[in-house]
Structure 1
Amino acid sequence: MENGIHLKRSLGLWSIVMLGIGYMSPMALFDTFGIVSEETAGHVPTSYLLALIAMLFTAISYGKMVKAYPMAGSAYTYTQKTINGNLGFLVGWSALLDYLFLPMVAALLTKIYFSAVFPGVPTWVWIVGFVIITTLINIFSINVTANFNTFLVLFQMLVIVTFLILCIKGLLSGEGTGKVLSPEPFFKTGFDFSSVISGATVLCFSFLGFDAVTTLSEETPNAIKTIPRAILLTAFIGGIVFIVVSYFIQSYFPDVTRFKNPEGASPEIALYVGGKLFQSFFIAGTFTSTLATGLASQASVSRLLYVMGRDQMLPKKVFGYIHPKWRTPVINVFLVGGIQLTAIFFDLETASSLINFGALISFTLVNICVIWHYAYYKKQYKSVKEVINFIILPVIGAACIIVLWLNLNMDALVLGISWAIVGFIYLLYLTKMFRTAPPQFNFNEAEAG
């Protein structure tokens, strides 16, 4: 915070939920369906169900930490305040991979979608146009971002509902399983639990977004009550959408033999289910999906940078600045927009792998923070309810994340560790080789805002 100017507390519950769902990008399930269907031998809905259950444990942990520290820094703040300032910095540094590269992934997906439709246009045009739109919207008040994002999410839902109607019509006409209600997408002959778990580890990353709403804590009245509800609603609603839609896609396409390219099956899915006209409508939906993700993720990372700047982990005059009129961290928004432009030189696989490392660091530490804060510091383990809430549930959440760590792409691990080493070197400089404590922000000052 600079010159006593704070973030403005003006977001309601459903605006936050919509930002979280926009971050999660509901239509992304079409992009991963072919890959996971092949991996699981036609049991994508079951993998989504397992992924939802796994992520809900971590979502519950985020909700508990928001109640303890209703501030904008998410896993960075929780680790810094609960365990150790140095570790908190390294968690925040690692989380930047997740938050910085998701806006870039959104730009890359936009380039892929539009280049397929307009192959004659230089690909960089779509990235530059996308970054300009998301940056201009985000520099104004968070309410402008939230309202526009809500419109984009509702349009995606319209595309999805239309898709489901067409799917049901096709199933009634004998397509796929020929049944609207069938257990086959969840369980059938050839079911292999290990492959379904493997599919779930891929799909867990579809849930990235429920944690991002914690970065909006300082722009939410009564954040202690509202943000935990928003976290659970975001994860649960997103999970239900994923399960229902994947159920009907799996019913329509019991296996991947119909797809020419299982790894990029979404255009084929739209074409086979609804024809060329619906395919055009569907492509419009995919663009709104990436735009919503770009908006929400850019808003989130600019708040994380703001908190790290306010804590003087990063230069305060730059990263801790809030615009006096718009009450947004405009310098950070422009900075993230500049980083998004580097998508011109990146490929989708590399950017996605960096997101996974940062997300898993955050998820792991938040589960640990619940145990550390409530059971270790506050000694809340003297009843069965407290043991379940503050030990058993976060341990299960951490165990689920360990499964994801074991399935993490090696490139993601190498790049993530390299990024963490750079952060560690910077921390050595910041703390003068750990001779001084890292700067920390006064929690009461944030609440006063």
Structure 2
Amino acid sequence: MSTQNIAPGATRPTLRQQLGARKPIEAFIAEAGNGTGDGPQLRRTLGLLHLTMISVGATLGTGIFVVLSSSVPMAGPAVWISFAIAGLAALFAALSYAEMAGAVPVSGSSYTYTYATMGEGLAWVCGWCLVLEYAVSVAAIAVGAGEYLNEMARALGVNLPAALTNPPGVDGGMFNVPALAIVLFATVLLVRGTKESAMVNTVLVFIKIAVLLFFIVIAFSAFTSGNFDPLLPMGTAGVSAAAARLFFSYIGFDAASTAGEEAKNPQRDLPRAIVLSMVIITTLYILVAIAAIGARQWTWFEGKSAALVQLLEEVTGQGWVALLFAAGAVLAIVSIVITVLYGQTRILVAMSRDGMVPAVFARISPRNGAPVAGTWITGGAVAVVAGLIPLGQLADATSIGTLFAFSLVSLAVIMLRRTQPELPRTFKVPLYPLTPILAVVFCGYLMLNLGATTWVVFGVWMIVGAAIYLGYGRRKSKLAAAWGTVPKN
């Protein structure tokens, strides 16, 4: 750890020293162990396919199934360009994640990378952003799944009561029971064990890819090139605003990096899984967006909560087609909930080991090697949020925290190259340092295109996080507790 300017005889750092204190990468790796350390540990059971499917599962479907309808009115027919812009920003960040995941193969993801390069203060900020990214995005995605469940029920001639299928303030809603049920289902699955949940997720991911390919084929059968004229009815500002919102669609590609301690060969497989997942996700997103706009004019999407289901029903005139797609969409979104909730619990494991959050989150079950208690706590809290808060507010709030965390990871690549150039790296970002710099620029650009309300929510979230750090994290920090015993480096 960094111990510059320590007062003689000091056993605890000042606030300034603690905020800048860096935890050595070797310490993270030693704590993670290889499954043979003291006490129950996370188990290495995941190969390249599982890791890739975790990232694809955590990402693919969110923007298409959930956020597309609200983004088309912002960008018009150029929404596919918005997907490409958001995907390019995500790709630059993904390359940075790939390098860091290969160099620091532990569970903490960007929280760990920031702690090792920029110090405890920014690590806490990053971890607090990740809490927003993972927990709130799970809730937002579950809300979207609830919308498709409603479409399934309507296709079967059943009208579910609005009071139990919408959050408060939305069409007479009181509590979104389907969203809560989906989160609780994912929680139960994760509690059973990592290997079991990874196998279920892999099956669900293949189903969701098949469902999206099915949509592309049907939508292209009704393709009209005139739907793309004019391409930019809302101008470039609309395209940028939609790209900022659609970045939410790429949240989750970093989920594989949270599995660093459960991968069989993390240095080799984590970078491959991250890059491969981004190629799959971006390709499918752009194809679906082009197919959707080609089948219907962009103004048609205004106000539609489950647009793709309704589009298929109109194009085919067959209710069973819409029912099949809605069922596939629900399964697809369930896989996102599973994998994103998985990532959240693993990040909390890393933060708990450092004393940043209560120790219960790092408690590993000796039966299945999973953080059972932390999963129940996280899943229960997210389920309540999913039942109470509307989707749009969740999506934008998640995007801003994620963009900030991605920026920190890209900066971490640069700092680690300078401070530890000899560190073994199984993957290096191409065109260094241009790639991580572009990642920071793109993320900053997208953040600036988010609304003022989103910035206010983010500011309040950061204030709450600072209060928790000063009141709990700073006092409980294990790095600070060991301050007087760790040699300078």
Using structure 2 for the length normalisation, give the TM-score.
0.80
Structure 2 vs 1, CA of residues 392 and 135 (structure 1 numbering), >3 Å: closer, same or farther? same
Q: Specify the alignment match of 2:270 in structure 1.
A: 227
| Structure 2 contact 220–294 (Cα < 8 Å) conserved | no
Q: Specify the alignment match of 2:464 in structure 1.
A: 422
Instruction: Give the SS at the match of 1:161.
Output: helix
The match for 1:339 among 368, 381, 389 is 381
| Structure 1 contact 46–186 (Cα < 8 Å) conserved | no
Q: Specify the alignment match of 1:10 in structure 2.
A: 45
| Structure 1 contact 86–438 (Cα < 8 Å) conserved | no
1:104 partner letter: A
Task: Report how many aligned residue pairs link the two structures.
Answer: 424
Structure 2 vs 1, CA of residues 440 and 67 (structure 1 numbering), >3 Å: closer, same or farther? farther
Q: Within the alignment, does 1:295 sit opposite 2:338 as a pair?
A: yes
Q: Specify the alignment match of 2:72 in structure 1.
A: 37
Structure 2 vs 1, CA of residues 397 and 277 (structure 1 numbering), >3 Å: closer, same or farther? same
Q: Distance in 1 between matches of 2:201 and 2:477?
A: 45
Q: Specify the alignment match of 1:157 in structure 2.
A: 209
1:147-175 deviations in whole A, cap 9, x for unaligned? Answer: 1111111111222222222223334xxxx
More displaced, 203-212 or 261-270? Answer: 261-270
Q: Within the alignment, does 1:396 sit opposite 2:438 as a pair?
A: yes
The match for 1:197 among 240, 244, 263 is 240
| Structure 2 contact 355–476 (Cα < 8 Å) conserved | no
Q: Within the alignment, does 1:366 sit opposite 2:409 as a pair?
A: yes
Q: Specify the alignment match of 2:364 in structure 1.
A: 322
The match for 1:211 among 249, 254, 277 is 254
Identify unmatched segments of 5+ residues in structure 2: 1-30, 32-36, 166-175, 423-427, 484-489
Q: Distance in 1 between matches of 2:366 and 2:475?
A: 36
Instruction: Give the SS at the match of 2:433.
Output: helix
| Structure 1 contact 25–293 (Cα < 8 Å) conserved | yes
| Structure 1 contact 51–200 (Cα < 8 Å) conserved | yes
Alpha-carbon deviation of 1:433? 7.7
Using structure 1 for the length normalisation, give the TM-score.
0.86
| Structure 1 contact 72–216 (Cα < 8 Å) conserved | yes
Alpha-carbon deviation of 1:431? 6.2
1:67-124 deviations in whole A, cap 9, x for unaligned? Answer: 2211111111011011112221221122111111122123222333324534334334
Q: Specify the alignment match of 2:27 in structure 1.
A: none
Q: Specify the alignment match of 1:140 in structure 2.
A: 192
Q: Distance in 2 between matches of 1:213 and 1:57?
A: 16
Alpha-carbon deviation of 1:145? 0.9
Identify unmatched segments of 5+ residues in structure 1: 179-183, 381-385, 442-449
Q: Distance in 2 between matches of 1:363 and 1:260?
A: 31
Which residues of 2 match residues 25-424 of structure 1 at below 5 A? 25-26=60-61, 28-116=63-151, 117=153, 118-121=158-161, 122-123=164-165, 124-171=176-223, 176-177=224-225, 192-253=235-296, 255-259=297-301, 261-262=303-304, 264-275=306-317, 276-316=319-359, 318-342=360-384, 343-375=386-418, 377-378=419-420, 389-424=431-466
Q: Distance in 2 between matches of 1:9 and 1:435?
A: 27
1:37 partner letter: V
Q: Distance in 2 between matches of 1:115 and 1:186?
A: 33
| Structure 1 contact 71–218 (Cα < 8 Å) conserved | yes
Q: Distance in 1 between matches of 2:179 and 2:258?
A: 25
